[in-house]
Structure 1
Amino acid sequence: MPKPRRSNDWGFPRWRGYEEGREAATVRLCDRHGCEEKGDCPAPKSPNTPERWYFCQKHAAEYNSKWDYFEGLDKAEKAARTKSEQSENAGYAEAQHYGWGGSGDGSRSADEMRALDILELESDADFATVKKAWRVKAKAVHPDVRPGDKEAADQFQRYQVAYEVLKAAEERREWKG
């Protein structure tokens, strides 16, 4: 008589995952030559074909940075595809900024929130307040006011980048609104 097999259930069948067993699971490796990471990010081998490469996240990002979605299409086909995709995805674009949504209600990106923290402002600050705070802080640490002070120059650079991020966001909102 064969020895009874030990169960994975422990008396509670719902604790077990679907199709879970003791055998080794097969893992697809990244299709990039020499990479031993798990290949779980599909990428098309060429435009308009169902064939896929499977890359790890690092190599998928590298592959997608050079990807041209419209490669091989003439100007008319490119325009038609752009129009159809914009109409299909228009609801998503509209949902980002409603007329009643102002800053501080989740409409700011993480970069904008970091920029507001650098300028020591609240998340619902309007652009006039941002500009005023930036001017005050930038004047205090400007390289012309404090020549030779590397720390002040670095702080001025941080304020400048924060202001540029918030200015670009404000211009996007004005353009969409």
Structure 2
Amino acid sequence: MAGSRRKDNWGFPRWGGYAGSREAVNVRICDRHNCNERGDCPAPKSPNSPDRWYFCQKHAAEYNKGWDYFEGLDKEEADKRARAEQQESAGYAEAQHYGWGGSGDGTRSKDEMRALEVLELDSDVEFEAVKKAWRAKAKEVHPDVRPGDEEAAKAFQAFQLAYEVLRAAEERREWKG
């Protein structure tokens, strides 16, 4: 019995793995100075660079907080990049019905969000509230109420267009569902 060694995984449950070993596991520490948390969130050191920082979740969130994907691009280039990315991810649009339900979770288009901003509404508002807000705002600036006022006429057109966009989107949702 000189060659046998007592096993430490006897009984049930087996405390050690079936083929487990007891060697130390290398754990990467957060690259942030004086942080001893696990660094499992890679972040690029510079744009288009393969080099990465490895942060803990807290410091990764801090690193990404001020990130602007469209920084340094003019409006045309930013729109072009956004369209290209939408085109690349269009295959995922089929599976949208598997996502979280309800408004305000990415189910509204960019046009709908702009229309809600014009009407000064939240992104998760119901369509009845959209109708109410549109009627109230349109009454204030209607051309019959303010004849000859160009600013009021422009505001009325903006409210009207915003309502039309939201109404069409609501009709599409009702038709689908």
Q: TM-score range by the shorter chain?
A: 0.3 to 0.5
So what's the TM-score if we normalise by structure 2? Answer: 0.46
Larger Cα-atom Rg: 2
